[in-house]
């Protein structure tokens, strides 16, 4: 009996000293539908990840010396994914995931156990060279602090993955949903902060799905937003400010004091700090020129309260500063204007220059029945109402695009205040661009050499639920959009007419008649998607120059259904008569298509088209050389041009897919995370050699923007939404 040790005794798996394994729990879950393991598994993994993050490397090393953890030699090596296919990033990786045979890689931020948002992510705005990523969602405004406590952050193995894994998600404010975010102006100050203006579409939290939210367009003080972001990063355990409703700020209790919304006088004083001297961007705030309240499009109507509410006594608590920063804004709508008490669906912003200069800007605000157009003249900040476009159905998407003129369009004075000023400031010329964008250097750059037209005009590409049309801003001419290879039925009367004959009477009634000619029946060819305008730099072999400061050429990317067309800019009408430079077809009809250019020193420049759908991401990559080897391919009846366009289809096309079976959507362009250097043990982003010469080389600015990556969002599960970044692989030669 003595030779029968306890090792031969059967073990009771239900004994208190024996914990069940994951396999045992999964087996119990399959056999017992009432098992709670499936509901608690994510929480268990999250808590395990948090406990692991709380352990310092020294403590972890001491635990391993005592026998904790698995030996390194027993770890099972991961198998590389097959070519052309990328697995889900839920599995831990030691480097950014390279997608197939393309040069595109996928980067993630933060822990894989902690979601970035529990509601759909609507928008993203990078700040301070992408150190902070503002996230707009239905719950409010959040942020990703990519490098929290960067002074004390030390990387164990210097990998990019460990650098981005340190990102922390914070709540900036709650109580108001953020649907869109854009930078109108952005300048660094001499204290290391940011100054400027942020344009945002804000609405209340969607508590009732059947009730339409009252969304409004606001202009926030960037200095206040940046101060709130830094305060949130410095106080991770502090409760974020709560804001209630866009129509009025409900009082909150802060200790024993009751705060009220600042009056118009207080807002005007705060907006004075938003004015920046372009000649001296680092001028101290005390020397900045003052600005009147009318310098903005509107002044928010203050709540009815006494002037003593905005005195220093109301804001003498340090805890009140976050709430004050979060409410430092003005509304675009004025009392009695067309936007007053009108819910906004979305807006679209077009800038002639970058965010570092006050160039001409156009803002299209879309409501259920109209598109309201606003403009900021060059050198000014105020948005001024220009005109209104009636829409028979609510527009789904609106994009600004340059359109060619096949006929001489006379300068007309539009029926609004300031119309004569627009006509005089932008006269038509035969050799240059016409209409609204005639005086802009960008419009002249978009004119194709050898073009038989008389320049280009700024237009609105409007997408409805089933159809799409083009509205010329100068004279409100309307034309229907059809792709070159659509075919199948004769053109409708509106396609058979010239844009000028469609709308010869510049009045609201004439515009209604012209746009109602559009037939809105479903034709089964797929949904239209926003038009993309890209400035692609000339390759050295195309213009004979080897300098990276080569000029760029503008192209358009139009998508409908499962196909994407690449066209030269400006857009030629009618579109169905002009053959595209390249047609790319997707395996799965995407919900949105984005584009970027891969600029690596060790390989030719590659145009990367990324299609987002509810099944993942699909990538198509092709060299950009074919875009510059064709002369006027879109002109009908030219055999030479058509032959070259057809040969472009034989250009090599690299494809890859990232299957997640979850919904993906692009957010914005930005980021150069492929230049993240961790060799010193601390994360640092090294710009390219010519990035510091942007002021003396304007062409480099366009090249730097083109080489940036794409921020996107992916849904991992119920109440689990993440931010990812798509860009070049980590390479010392990447630009």
Is 227 a residue whose pLDDT tops 90? Answer: yes
Res 408: pLDDT: 41
The pLDDT score that the predictor gives to residue 514 is 53
Asked if residue 362 and residue 326 are part of one domain, the reply reads no
Give yes or no: residues 588 and 695 share one domain: yes
Span of 3-12, 251-260, 578-587, 626-635 with lowest mean pLDDT: 251-260
Residue 145 has pLDDT above 70, yes or no: yes
The range of the structural domain enclosing residue 395 comes to: 348-481+487-516
pLDDT at 261 over 70: no
Joined together, the tokens standing for residue 371 give 């598109």
- Is residue 53 within a helix (H) or strand (E), and if so which, with residue range? helix 37-54
Q: Does 192 reside within a domain?
A: yes
Reply yes or no on whether the pLDDT at 642 is more than 60: no
Question: 385: which strand partners?
Answer: 374
* 557/585 same-domain check: yes
User: Is residue 29 a part of any domain in this protein?
Assistant: yes
**Structure-block tokens of residue 72:** 């390194």
Q: What angle (nearest 5°) sits at the alpha carbon of residue 399, between those of residues 398 and 405?
A: 120
Residue 426: count of CB within 10 angstroms of its CB? 21
Convert 625-662 to b/e letters by CB count within 10 Å (16 or more is b): bbbbebebbbbeeeeebbebbeebeeeeebbbbbebeb
pLDDT value at position 702?
55
Whole-angstrom distance, CA of residue 136 vs CA of residue 108: 18
Sign of CA dihedral 520, 521, 525, 526: positive
Best CA proximity match to 464, nearest among 398, 525, 548, 409:
398
Domain count, the chain: 4
Asked if 242 and 187 sit in the same domain, the reply is: yes
Sheet holding 168-174, edge to edge: 121-127, 132-137, 140-145, 168-174
CA distance 619 to 100: 9
**Distant-in-sequence, close-in-space partners of 650: CB < 8 Å, separation ≥ 6:** none
Predicted local confidence at residue 492, as pLDDT: 43
**Burial class of residue 486 (count of CB atoms within 10 Å of its CB; 0-12, 13-18, 19+):** middle
Q: Are 176 and 48 part of one and the same domain?
A: no
> How remote is the C-alpha of 241 from its chain's centroid?
25
* Domain membership flag for residue 72: no
405 exposed, middle or buried (CB, 10 Å; 0-12, 13-18, 19+)? buried
Assigned domain for 113 exists: no
Mean pLDDT, the chain, rounded, equals 69
264: in domain:
yes
Kind and range of the H or E element at 665? strand 664-669
Instruction: Tell whether 443 and 539 lie within a shared domain.
Output: no
Last residue of one domain, picked from the residues 18, 35, 55: 55
Distance, in Å, from the CA atom of 400 to the CA atom of 140, rounded to the nearest integer, reads 28
Same-domain pairing of 389 and 465: yes
Q: Is the pLDDT assigned to residue 353 strictly greater than 90?
A: no
Q: Residue 343: inside a domain, yes or no?
A: no
Does the residue 90 lie in any domain?
no
Q: Are 356 and 497 found together in one domain?
A: yes
Asked whether the beta carbons of 672 and 597 are under 8 A apart, the reply is: no
Q: Does one domain contain both 658 and 537? A: yes
Residue 654 pLDDT: 87
Looking at the domain assignment, is residue 99 inside a domain?
no
Per-residue pLDDT for 250 more than 90?
A: no
Distance, in Å, from the CA atom of 674 to the CA atom of 471, rounded to the nearest integer, reads: 39
- Higher pLDDT among residues 159 and 340, named by residue: 340
Q: CA dist 439 to 18, 108, 385, 555, Å?
A: 79, 43, 20, 20
**591 shares a domain with 511:** no
Distances from the Cα of 356 to the Cα of 279, 352, 360, angstroms? 11, 11, 12
Same-domain check for residues 294 and 363: no
Q: Among 347-361, 404-418, 566-580, which is the least confidently predicted range?
A: 404-418
Residues 297-320 have pLDDT tens digits of: 433 333 333 333 444 444 455 568
Helix (H, G, I), strand (E, B) or coil at 46: helix
Q: For Cα atoms 660, 663, 669, give the angle at the middle one, nearest 5 degrees.
A: 100
Is residue 577 domain-shared with residue 703, that is, in the same domain? yes
The first and second tokens of residue 154, run together, are 């030390």
Under the banding of pLDDT at 50, 70 and 90, the label for residue 446 is very low
Does position 177 have pLDDT exceeding 60, yes or no? yes
- Scored b (16 or more CB within 10 A) or e, 184-222 reads bbbbebeeeebbbbbbbbbbbbeeeeeeebebbbbbbbb
| Confidence at residue 83, expressed as pLDDT on a 0 to 100 scale | 46
- Residue 680's pLDDT is 52
Q: What percent of the chain has pLDDT over 90?
A: 21
Q: Which residues contact 653 (CB under 8 A, 6 or more apart)?
A: 584, 620, 621, 622
């Amino acid at each position: 009996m003595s030779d029968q040790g306890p090792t031969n005794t059967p073990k009771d798996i239900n004994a208190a000293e024996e914990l069940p394994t994951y396999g045992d729990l999964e087996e119990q879950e399959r056999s017992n539908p009432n098992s709670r393991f499936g509901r608690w598994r994510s929480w268990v993994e999250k808590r395990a990840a948090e406990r692991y993050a709380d352990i310092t490397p020294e403590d972890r090393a001491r635990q391993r010396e005592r026998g904790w953890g698995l030996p390194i030699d027993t770890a099972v090596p991961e198998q590389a994914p097959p070519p052309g296919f990328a697995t889900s990033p839920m599995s831990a990786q030691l480097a950014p995931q390279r997608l197939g045979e393309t040069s595109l890689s996928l980067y993630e931020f933060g822990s894989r156990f902690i979601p970035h948002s529990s509601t759909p992510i609507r928008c993203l705005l990078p700040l301070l060279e992408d150190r902070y990523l503002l996230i707009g969602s239905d719950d409010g405004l959040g942020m990703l602090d990519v490098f929290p406590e960067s002074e004390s952050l030390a990387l164990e193995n210097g990998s990019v993955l460990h650098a981005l894994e340190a990102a922390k998600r914070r709540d900036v404010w709650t109580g108001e949903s953020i649907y869109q975010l854009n930078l109108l102006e952005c300048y660094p100050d001499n204290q290391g902060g940011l100054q400027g203006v942020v344009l945002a579409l804000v609405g209340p939290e969607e508590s009732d799905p059947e009730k339409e939210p009252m969304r409004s367009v606001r202009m926030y003080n960037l200095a206040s937003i940046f101060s709130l972001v830094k305060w949130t990063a410095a106080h991770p355990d502090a409760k974020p400010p709560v804001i209630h409703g866009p129509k009025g700020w409900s009082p909150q209790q802060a200790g024993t004091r009751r705060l009220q919304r600042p009056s118009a006088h207080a807002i005007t004083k705060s907006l004075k700090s938003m004015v920046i001297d372009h000649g001296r961007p680092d001028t101290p705030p005390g020397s900045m020129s003052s600005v009147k309240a009318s310098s903005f499009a509107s002044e928010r109507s203050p709540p009815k309260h006494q002037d003593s509410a905005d005195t220093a006594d109301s804001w003498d608590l340090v805890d009140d500063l976050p709430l004050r920063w979060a409410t430092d804004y003005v509304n675009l709508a004025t009392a009695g204007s067309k936007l007053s008490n009108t819910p906004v669906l979305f807006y679209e912003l077009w800038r002639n220059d970058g965010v570092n200069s006050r160039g001409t800007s156009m803002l299209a605000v879309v409501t259920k029945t109209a598109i309201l157009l606003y403009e900021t003249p060059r050198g000014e900040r105020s948005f001024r109402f220009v005109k209104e476009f009636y829409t028979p159905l609510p527009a789904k998407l609106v994009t600004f695009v340059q359109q060619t003129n096949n006929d001489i369009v006379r300068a007309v004075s539009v029926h609004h205040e300031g119309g004569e000023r627009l006509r005089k400031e932008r006269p038509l010329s035969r050799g240059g661009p016409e209409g609204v964008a005639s005086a802009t250097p960008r419009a002249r750059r978009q004119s194709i050499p050898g073009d038989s037209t008389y320049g280009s005009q700024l237009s609105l590409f409007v997408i409805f639920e089933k159809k799409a049309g083009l509205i010329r801003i100068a004279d409100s001419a309307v034309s229907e959009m059809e792709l070159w290879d659509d075919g199948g039925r004769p053109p409708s009367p509106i396609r058979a007419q010239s844009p000028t004959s469609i709308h010869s009477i510049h009045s609201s009634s004439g515009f209604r008649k012209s746009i109602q000619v559009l037939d809105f029946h479903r034709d089964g060819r797929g949904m239209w998607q926003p038009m993309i305008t890209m400035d692609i730099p000339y390759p050295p072999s195309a213009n004979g120059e080897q300098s990276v400061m080569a000029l760029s050429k503008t192209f358009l990317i139009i998508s409908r259904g499962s196909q994407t067309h690449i066209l030269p800019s400006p857009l030629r009408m009618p579109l169905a008569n002009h053959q595209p430079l390249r047609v790319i077809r997707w395996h799965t009809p995407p919900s949105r298509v984005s584009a970027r250019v891969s600029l690596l020193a060790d390989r030719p420049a590659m145009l990367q088209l990324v299609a987002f759908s509810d099944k993942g991401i699909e990538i198509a990559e092709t060299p950009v050389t074919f875009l510059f080897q064709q002369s006027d391919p879109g002109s009908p009846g030219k055999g030479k041009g058509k032959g070259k366009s057809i040969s472009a289809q034989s250009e090599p096309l690299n494809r890859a897919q990232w299957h997640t079976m979850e919904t993906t959507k692009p957010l914005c362009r930005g980021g150069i995370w492929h230049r993240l250097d961790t060799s010193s043990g601390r994360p640092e982003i090294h710009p390219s050699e010519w990035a510091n010469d942007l002021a003396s080389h304007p062409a480099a600015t366009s090249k730097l923007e083109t080489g940036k990556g794409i921020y996107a969002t992916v849904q991992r599960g119920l109440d689990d939404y993440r931010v990812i970044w798509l860009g070049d692989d980590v390479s010392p030669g990447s630009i």
